[in-house]
Amino acid sequence: MMESGVPLCSSCGEAVGLSSPSSKGAFVACHGCNYPLCRQCLNEELNEGKLDCVRCGEPYIREKVSANPEGSGGRLTMAAHLHEDNALHARNLSSLSAVDSELNDESGNPIWKNRVESWKEKKEKKNAKKKDRKESQIPQEQQMEGDVNTAAGQPLSEIVPISRNKLTSYRAVIILRLIILGLFFHYRITHPVESAYGLWLTSIICEIWFAVSWVLDQFPKWSPINRRTYIDVLSARYEKEGEYCDLSAVDFFVSTVDPLKEPPLITANTVLSILAVDYPVEKVSCYVSDDGSSMLSFESLAETAEFARKWVPFCKKYAIEPRAPEFYFSQKIDYLKDKVQPSFVKERRSMKRDYEEYKVRVNALVAKAQKTPEEGWVMQDGTPWPGNNPRNHPGMIQVFLGNSGAHDIEGNELPRLVYVSREKRPGYQHHKKAGAMNALVRVSAILTNAPYILNLDCDHYVNNSKAIREAMCFMMDPQVGRDVCYIQFPQRFDGIDRSDRYANRNIVFFDVNMKGLDGIQGPVYVGTGCVFNRQALYGYGPPSLPSLPKSSFCSWCCSCCCCCRSKKAAEDEVEVYKDSKREDLNAAIFNLKEIDNYDEYERSLLISQMSFEKSFGLSSVFIESTLMENGGVPDSANPSTLIREAIHVISCGYEEKTEWGKEIGWIYGSVTEDILTGFKMHCRGWRSIYCMPLRPCFKGSAPINLSDRLHQVLRWALGSVEIFLSRHCPLWYGFGGGRLKWLQRLAYTNTILYPFTSLPLIAYCSLPAICLLTGKFIIPTLSNVASMLFLGLFISIIVTSVLELRWSGIGIEDWWRNEQFWVIGGVSAHLFAVFQGFLKMLAGLDTNFTVTAKASDDAEFGELYVIKWTTLLIPPTTLLVLNLVGVVAGFSDALNSGYEAWGPLFGKVFFALWVILHLYPFLKGLMGRQNRTPTIVILWSVLLASVFSLIWVKIDPFLSNTDSTIASQSCSSIDC
């Protein structure tokens, strides 16, 4: 009987076999990367002249192989592999099933011991003709060496570089601006303003910080690129007619918490768009995480599953876009365009009527859920709903579609739809969204185990039905996809006003910054619309990760030999240091020094079991799934047993004393777990890819009113501050492996330092008004050289922006909105995030800034005009009033002082107007609908204006020093 844990050949699908009959180690074709290839396929490769490994490029045979193929010349033991590759390839070679950790079925027979045989039977059953066409069909991991015009030889994607003329001029201006900045600071520092030394020093500190912030933001955009995909080539290569589809499976994750704040109808549209995606149904599974254990979410998902039986075949029959019904039926376009079937109009009307009825049923559930019964919710069979207490309930899993036997109205199979609500108990740390996502990772690994995972927020639907194919053009490319941890898609939004007053679209970030990062090591993970390589989420390094240094391997080998034990003691300190560095960057690491008293084979088994259980938790079924790089579950698996195991892996205590949230899955420690998770992957040596198809793949909804937008920015900024104060700060984390590129490190440093720009920004926005009120200025009288420096700096700033717009393709309005909201968010949300972050991390105080919602009567963009008072509005309001009072005071002083005062006034007013123009969208937001200003804003304005007016009168700017002295003397002489 075949031993479980022996990998399958990547060419023929057979087990690679053992090195020799007496050996327990698997046969190894490439000692460098452990490429799974059986002996027969290796001989065929060598006979064809292919001497190098297709994965790592190293020669297949490093040592001379003896005439006996089963001799020791080509042997490398399992334990040696586990140590040499630093547990990276342990997932291929683990013999976990050989130890006593199997799960038995009801009859006592082991389910998982014969896993490899089940895989083999499944492959032979679905792909019976694979061996017959093996010589004519090239495996996924190899390149085509035949006719370049065939589909197998064409690339699945390509890089479209930015025009050299655009990039050369862009880089030249960046360097020129850096030089001008140096000369500018030399002048500013060497020419202090003695009469306003405090203001001058404050301005210098602020300007230096702005320069550093600009460098952190600018240089990661040094090498922007575009990409193009060829989904037709993907289909021709992996979806041949009459043959088994070789496209990889994908698990979708959708997370929701509170159905009253996240309407079930919105979540349902996201789920329906996933179920109707243009991809083989047997390759798609949708997991919905209900972290609020709401019966409303469960019942609405049951209604959604029933409506999907009609909606999915309709979408695929007529190839409609988008496949979220709410957004499809609300389109103001000619829906008959390109639809020539006579029956389309009739079926569309019928489907729209069915959808309206479905909406009525869901809305009725929502109305019913507004008031919770005293005895709690009861299910249809009369039993109490297990999740009545959202903080104390068992784990719940319900499979609605898929293996349950549900088909659409035409009798076709539907994708799997699974409801998941993880267990929650008092006294346990559940880690909010990151913990829910990690629970989905484990559940999906038990039930479907797709090699790729696509996560979406509940309000982000699939706008392009070919989105998965776009991602697979990178993931399934044998050259591009081997080191890719995730494919990030840009976020696009519906329901935003045309002018995008509060920069909700984030066009500059998604169309400029992310393209720049794609040219380095890849874009950052932004929390949604991302396709993950499951192996990267498990904490493994990429296949091209260099093996351990030879000295380390030799040191460990010597420690196993009695004659060399003296060397071990001398190298213990160095090895412990190296182990700590590896443990910092790789999960699934086990200290080999703790098990020296075993023979080689026993040690390999013990390392496999102990290291994986220490990292992944005590579930043999889940651990077995992590060893399957190509995913899938055995045909012999019992569905009821799988469900029981899935319930086990979402229990509260499962993650205790494991690496979950530390090195595996979504990383804990920040409310912006997305940035932290992507950062850890890049530190391990992975790269990511940015995919921007012409038709946006995903669309969502954004908070478009001012208060909600500021609250969203506050949460992002708070997460950045938390990362800055944690051990994962990019300023000092991840240097041991040397796998994070320097420009990528600059980009991550910028993501955690940008909230601190709020402190100098507040000061700099206050300086113009202070200068106008005091009559002083931060800049001395300018010479010709100084004037040229100031002019050159402003010109370089403008030219840099223009060239950025040129190669990125964004509009000047989008750029200007981004600049405005950079100031608005900086003086409000970012400032509060800094203080809240320090209070939370250093003093343990968690301060929440709540927002009170109000209803709106407007049908379109009604939320845009809603004013929800929050403390975040105080700082920008104060700055606005301060600068407006300053401008009035400056002009009053100039009118009183005469012609000579107008020259200095120009510079002061220019900076004050710069502040007011940037805060103009904030001012419009305060005005609300129909220019009605909230009473609280009027009170603040009157109060602040009174305070600054009193200060102004105290300063007495209408009188010069001489005049004030004479007036005081005259007053005293007449005894006034």
Residue whose C-alpha is closest to residue 313's, from 281, 360, 357: 281
Amino acid at residue number 699: K
Binding-site positions for UDP-alpha-D-glucose read 255, 261-262, 291, 432
Residue 254 forms beta bridges with which residues? 288, 456
Helix, strand, or coil here: 493? strand
Pairwise CA distance, residues 34 & 274, whole Å: 36
3-class secondary-structure state, position 887:
helix
- Judge whether 117 and 202 are in contact, CB under 8 Å: no
Alpha-helix residue ranges (DSSP H) falling in 448-597:
467-475, 507-508, 514-518, 534-537, 550-560, 565-585
Integer Cα distance of 689 and 486 in angstroms: 7
What SS3 class is residue 253? strand
Cα separation of 220 and 689, whole Å? 15
Q: Are 348 and 362 in contact (CB under 8 A)?
A: no
Which residue out of 85, 251, 290, 291 is catalytically annotated?
291
Is there a catalytic annotation at residue 291? Answer: yes
- The Cβ of residue 154 has, within 10 Å, a number of other Cβ atoms equal to 16
Cα–Cα distance measured from residue 438 to residue 891, given in angstroms and rounded to the nearest whole number: 61
Which residues are within 8 A (CB) of 74 and not within 5 positions of it... i.e. 6 or more apart? 19, 27, 28, 61, 63, 65
Contact 364, 247 (CB under 8 A): no
Q: Which helix (H) or strand (E) holds 445?
A: helix 432-447
Nearest CA to 435 out of 462, 479, 395 is that of: 395
**For the chain, how many helices (H) and strands (E)?**
33, 13
Reading the block at residue 783, the tokens are 């010479």
Distance CA 968, CA 962 (A): 10
* Strands ordered across the beta sheet of 492-494: 460-462, 698-701, 492-494
Residue burial 440-473, b: 16+ Cβ < 10 Å; e: rest: bbbbbbbbbbbbbbbbbbbbbbbbbbbbbbbbbb
Q: Which of 217, 290, 500, 674 is catalytic?
A: 674
Alpha-carbon distance of 710 to 826, in angstroms, equals 10
- Check: CB of residue 773 under 8 Å from CB of residue 949: no
Helices 742-753 and 673-683 meet at what angle, rounded to 10? 160
**Spatial distance between the Cα atoms of 329 and 323, rounded to a whole number of angstroms:** 10
Q: Are 385 and 377 in contact (CB under 8 A)?
A: yes
Strands 284-290, 460-462: pairing is unpaired
Three-state DSSP class for 474? Answer: helix
Q: Which token pair is 649? A: 């892996």
765 CB neighbour count, 10 Å cutoff:
27
- Binding-site sequence positions for Mn(2+): 433, 457
Taking the C-alpha atoms of residue 534 and residue 628, their distance in angstroms, rounded to an integer, is 10
Gap between the Cα atoms of 685 and 679, Å rounded: 10
CA distances to 614, 696, 785, 818 from 500, rounded to whole Å, are 49, 18, 41, 10
Residue 456 sits at φ, ψ, to 5 deg, of: -135, 145
Q: Is-cis flag, bond preceding 322, omega within 30?
A: yes
- Give yes or no for a contact between 302 and 358, defined as CB atoms under 8 angstroms apart: no
**Cα distance between residue 825 and residue 822, in whole Å:** 5
Which positions make up the binding site? 255, 261-262, 291, 432-433, 457
| DSSP letters for 298-332 | HHHHHHHHHHHHHHHHHHHHHT-S---HHHHHT--
Q: Closest Cα partner for 319 from 464, 529, 454?
A: 464
Catalytic center residues? 291, 674
